[in-house]
Structure 1
Amino acid sequence: MIWLKLLCVAAGGGTGACLRHGLIYLFSDVAGWPVYIAVMTVNLLGCFLIGFVFMYIEQKYRYDGAMRVRELPYRNWWPDKDPTASAVDQFKMDQNAELVAAFGITGLLGAMTTFSLFSLLSFQSIQSGAPLEAVINTVGSVLIGLVAVALGMSLASYRATTSAD
């Protein structure tokens, strides 16, 4: 089963990456939008779609009639496994739901925009009664992400100017 799930993630991921590239090209190069607006639009579209796909899987494949939205797992301030695991591995549904989630959530939407998964995790922590975790995730990801970009650029610049060609 794991190989089939990995194949679904790979197929969805390739499709999502191409979709992201195509949509940004369409919005920025064809429509003439500024690149940051095009990227933001793709991210927001991904957020809408991950909410739709998540709830669709919940309602389509939960045969017991229970809605996991009320019982989303948040044991600590961050999932103890891969962040995509909370959206895929913990569905505890039949294999079809896991494959749909692997393709649609982890693969397609994960490659189209990691921002949608970031938003889903933040939303899950709010719904599970942990708003501080959502704030830490949101503010921490953005601020530390900016610092990480700056550090990466500084290190690359240093390496490029000090390495012998």
Structure 2
Amino acid sequence: MNTILAIALGGAAGALGRYGVSRLFTDLVHASIQPVATLAVNVIGCGIMGVCFGLMLAGAFHLGDAGRGFLLIGFLGALTTFSSFSLDAFRLMEQGGYGLAFIYVAGSVILSLAAFFAGASLIRLMLGGN
């Protein structure tokens, strides 16, 4: 299977998985705690990424380019980018770059929140909202 097609199919499956988890939480709990759904997909995705990575390191799990594209890039990428973020941080720590990993994690969270705040504030300013 073509790697690009595998990524696209995995992405579709991951997006549907994310939607399904969000709907499940919306139906089961009050909308006021909806961030729990995001937390759930992030934790689930990171767990799946950790299991796959551990199995690959142990030589017990072999994925070709298409399989890696489907599962790791497409499915987990659409389910949650937090899984890739966690893998990157883990790899930095595994290579002894604890300081760099801390900067990466803190910087990612702080800069992402700042960018979100800046974007939302800019739109509010442009549209005259509060």
- When normalised by structure 1's length, the TM-score is 0.70
1:42-73 superposed Cα distances (whole Å, 9 cap, x missing partner): 10010000111223344233xxxxxxxxxxxx
**What residue in structure 1 maps to residue 4 of structure 2?**
6
Letter in 1 for 2:104: N
**What residue in structure 2 maps to residue 53 of structure 1?**
52
Where structure 2 has 5 or more consecutive residues not aligned to the other structure, the ranges are none
Pair 1:17 & 2:54 matched:
no
- When normalised by structure 2's length, the TM-score is 0.87
* Per-residue deviation, 1:106: 0.4
- Classify the secondary structure of the residue corresponding to 1:129: coil
Where structure 1 has 5 or more consecutive residues not aligned to the other structure, the ranges are 62-95
1:18-55 superposed Cα distances (whole Å, 9 cap, x missing partner): 100111211x2222162111211110010000111223
1:118-156 superposed Cα distances (whole Å, 9 cap, x missing partner): 011001100011111110111001111111011000111
Name the % identity: 33
Letter in 1 for 2:81: T
Q: What's the Cα RMSD here?
A: 1.8
In 2: Cα distance, 1:56 partner to 1:128 partner: 18
Give every structure 1 segment of 4 or more consecutive aligned residues whose post-TM-superposition deviation is greater than 6 Å: none
Question: For residues 49 and 119 of structure 1, do their structure 2 counterparts lie closer, same or farther at Cα, with a shift above 3 Å needed?
Answer: same
Letter in 1 for 2:4: L
Pair 1:107 & 2:104 matched:
no
Relative to its length, the structure with more helix (as a share) is: 2
Pair 1:157 & 2:124 matched:
yes
In 2: Cα distance, 1:7 partner to 1:160 partner: 40
Aligned length: 125
141, 144, 153: which is aligned to 2:111? Answer: 144
